[in-house]
Structure 1
Amino acid sequence: MATTDATVTDTEMTEKIHQGLAARELLPGEHAVDAGYVTAAHIVTARDEHGVDLLGPVGPDTCHANHPGEHFAQSAFTIDWERRQVTCPQGATSISWSDQRKASGTPLARIHFAVTDCAACPLRAKCTTATNGKWGRSLTLLPREQQEVLAQRREEQQTEEWKKRYDIRAGVEGTISQAVRRTGIRHTRCIGLAKTHLGNVLAATAINIIRFDAWFTETPLGQTRTSHLARLELAA
């Protein structure tokens, strides 16, 4: 159980959660989380440093938000990491590869194609809207290991096998819903992080007791709620 200020994002907690579980020797082989806790860096770190398969969806392979219609996403390009060069779907090769860092310190590579290659390309409309006159299509890549695991996860999460594996996450969401409904865990009754954390621990303990009682008394699982609108549709 971890309690933080509201400004702390989910991604900031993934590694801290794993470190806490490691200290107590409670690391799972597979950790099912929602998209907020997953980045390529987290997948690599969980695997290499903790031996944990971080199971959760990553963002889709997309192009610039202002690019209309069908477009060539990042996966359409071939990356030669050794030569530090990228080849586009039409066979043109990049002319610039520069190592940079985000403001957060995350390393990345910025790749550019020649404006002359892109201007004359018959598929330009599906690839780039660049009009700066200096570069054509540009790409931003994560470090190689992260970029490759990101591409692999994007392919995996489209398969039925991966989707069935991730179905287990429904149990986690059910637990969160039960905690919210039965204990009001989203509203603190205390002032201060330490007291709020104690309240969260007590709420989690209460949920465990409720579930043990339901198991021992063979209480059936609750039925999925059907909204008023859905009931009217079923009646029709």
Structure 2
Amino acid sequence: MFDLTDMEALEELEFNLLWHHALRLEMEEAHLAQKTLHNFRVRLMEHDGGRLAFSETTDRMIEALGLRTGKQRLDSTHVMSNIAVLTRLGLFCETVRVFLLAVSREHPGLGEGIGDGLAQRYLKETGEASRYEDARSGEGRRRLSVCARDVYRLVDRFRGTAVAKMEEYGLLERLLGEQCHVGRHRDGRPGADEDDAEEGKVPIALKEPKEVRSYSMQTPHDPEVTYSGHKGKGYEVQVAETCEEGNAMQVITHVEVTPSSGSDAGVTVGVIDTLRERGIGPSELWCDTTYGSGHNGWEAERRGTELVSPVGGRAPGEADEDDGLVRLTAADFDIDVTARRAAVCAAGHEAVSEYEDEDAPERVEMHFAREVCEPCSLRSRCPVRWRRRPELGGEWSPRGAYVLSADLARVNIGRRRRAESDGQWRKRYGLRAGIEGTNSELKRRHGLGRLRVRGGERVRLAVYLKALACNVKRMVRARLDEMLVPPAALATAPPAA
């Protein structure tokens, strides 16, 4: 709620009368050991308590305040866990350093087999970190090659031993696989003037920077951190909230931590499903272009949700007939993606049958009767095609039919692109902008932008609790607004007797 450290929160608990009143504590009860707070946080993570606290409490707020959830908006914001941003050389050095310290702590006998030269490149005799990664740009590439060969030597040295079961060894293996090419044909021969010249060649070669994937490890202290080309290292937090004009407050309905290297397009359908499972699924969902692919628009439509977002890419050129009339497309047909009612063409004729492709459910084939299609005034512009013997339900129709095969994802894109060309659509889409203020509020007021924790589980817990704190704060303000009498009402009130 207040973005405090553990020690600051425990101090407020002990000495702040406002906290005593809020938590209904007597002064002699207002004390908590830091270890107890730490253990409780661990138990929350073990039992998915953060997600349950957020969803269940938020649902109770929605019910208590009578909030409507039909209109919601969705966006993502970039957050950082409590890590240092490492260079590529720094990543190698820190991962080796973490491994060496773990081996010396847990398997000191096995650690004695590590060469002094290798160990001294990363750790001083006192156990403190060396500055091997602190290299000038001209030396950085050479030292990086040395580090890559050192990683291979360590992985090879401890393969099959008790050390190989350690988490730190797994990080070393992961680093080697993501950053290096490994194989017998690789000539990892150190130069005569390099620091590992006397330690022999190894069968590896460094990958070029463009070959390293964005989901590769960015720090050994938080292996779940990934990289985004335009946002940097960290996590993405998906945030959904209501945007109903009549609500006493807008409530955050959903938060979710996703990899920074992933695309927002992959979360749209999952967010809708999660909200529907809680009974607060939106009928309209505002989001930006990344979320609004044709596939997502079609899947959302199947779930009863209209995806309101700009359409990416260029609009295809429209083909004209010889008479200058614009050709109709499948987007001009009224197609129910749930198949509860028959499709209707642009002239108002219903399809006599529809068939979904079992291997590609986005594709549907609609059949229209010959007697209504041939005399139709739109026939020359219509995309339906005559098929002499279309297969109907596993049998061949002897009379034939006019057939339209449509990709429902493309149909969704076509409809939305036409709506977007309307001048009123931009005004309607303006409703999405409000979620930027929510993202800013979570970061500035509740410390979401730079978290004090690291590790995926701790990050997820922190995100759930910060979003819940924001909702609680908004609820309190909404209740206070209901209780307070407006100054104008006081001015017009009759004098007391």
Shared fold, TM over 0.5: yes
Are 1:36 and 2:278 counterparts?
Answer: no
Q: Secondary structure at the match of 2:307?
A: strand
Distance 1:169 1:80 in 2: 30
CA distance in 2, matches of 1:52, 1:148: 16
Report the secondary structure of 1:183's partner residue: coil
Q: Distance in 2 between the 1:177 and 1:5 partners?
A: 20
Match of 1:189 in 2: 452
Partner in structure 2 of residue 17 of structure 1? 271
Equivalent residues, number: 149
TM-score (structure 2 length as normaliser): 0.28
User: RMSD value over aligned CA atoms?
Assistant: 2.7
Deviation per CA, 1:153-193, whole angstroms, max 9, x where unpaired?
A: 11211223222221211222221121122122132322221
**Corresponding residue SS for 1:25:** coil
| 2:287 is the counterpart of 1:45 | no
- Contact 2:272 2:282 survives alignment (8 Å): no
Alpha-carbon distance in structure 2 between the residues aligned to 1:79 and 1:189: 57
Aligned counterpart in structure 2 of residue 150 of structure 1, from 413, 417, 421: 413
Q: Hey, what does 2:438 align to over in structure 1?
A: 175
Q: 1:226 is matched with which residue?
A: none
Amino acid in the other structure paired with 1:28: P
In 2, the alpha carbon distance for the partners of 1:146 and 1:5 equals: 26
Q: Please state if 1:75 is matched with 2:317.
A: yes
Is the 2:284–2:307 contact (alpha carbons within 8 Å) kept by the matching residues of 1?
yes
Structure 1 residue aligned with 2:281: 27
Question: Contact 1:33 / 1:54 at 8 angstroms: preserved in 2?
Answer: yes
Corresponding letter in the other structure for 1:25: G
Once residues 192 and 30 of structure 1 are traced to their aligned partners in structure 2, the CA distance between those partners, rounded to angstroms, is 34
TM-superposed CA distance for 1:76, in Å, is: 2.1
Aligned partner letter, 1:17: V
- State the match for 2:42 in structure 1: none
Pair member with larger Rg: 2
Q: Which amino acid aligns with 1:22?
A: R
Say if 2:440 is the partner of 1:203. no
Cα drift, residue 199 of structure 1: 0.5
Equivalent residue letter for 1:53: E
Alignment-derived partner of residue 165 in structure 1: 428
Amino acid aligned to 2:311 = V
Distance in 2 separating the partners of 1:16 and 1:172: 19
Residue 52 of structure 1 deviates from its aligned partner by 0.5
Find the aligned partners of 1:160 and 1:181 in 2 and give their Cα distance.
35
Task: For residue 217 of structure 1, report the CA deviation from its aligned partner.
Answer: 4.1
Q: What amino acid maps onto 1:76 in structure 2? A: E
Q: Any gaps of 5 or more consecutive residues in structure 1? A: 63-73, 82-104, 109-142, 219-236
Q: Output the amino acid matched with 1:47.
A: E
CA distance in 2, matches of 1:17, 1:203: 19
Change (3 A) 1:61 1:178: same
Q: d(CA) in 2 for partners of 1:80 and 1:169?
A: 30
- Asked if structure 2 preserves the Cα contact closer than 8 Å seen for 1:60 and 1:154, the reply is no
Change (3 A) 1:193 1:154: same
- What percentage of residue pairs aligned between the two structures are identical? 26
Matched, 1:59 2:301: no
**Matched AA of 1:198:** L
Q: Which runs of 4+ in 1 moved over 6 A?
A: none
Matches within 5 A, 1:87-236: 144-218=407-481
Native 8 Å contact 1:4 1:193 kept in 2 = no
CA distance in 2, matches of 1:45, 1:209: 33
The answer on whether the counterparts of 2:286 and 2:429 sit within 8 Å (CA) in structure 1 is yes
Give yes or no for contact 1:156–1:162 (8 Å, CA) kept in 2. Answer: yes
What's the CA shift for 1:36? 1.8
Which structure ranks higher in relative contact order (CA pairs < 8 Å, sequence separation ≥ 6)? 2
- Cα offset, 1:212, TM superposition: 2.6
Indicate the SS of the match to 1:54. Answer: strand
1:109-167 deviation per Cα after TM superposition (whole angstroms, max 9, x unaligned): xxxxxxxxxxxxxxxxxxxxxxxxxxxxxxxxxx6222222122112112232222212
Q: Match of 2:474, SS?
A: helix
Could you say what secondary structure the match of 1:167 adopts?
helix
Q: Aligned in 2, Cα 1:35/1:13: closer, same or farther, shift over 3 Å?
A: same
Kept after mapping to 2: 8 A contact 1:61/1:75: no
Equivalents in 1 of 2:329, 2:478: separation in Å? 55
Unaligned runs of 5+ in 2: 1-254, 320-326, 331-359, 364-405, 482-497
Deviations 1:190-228 (A, max 9, x none): 22212111101111112112323333444xxxxxxxxxx
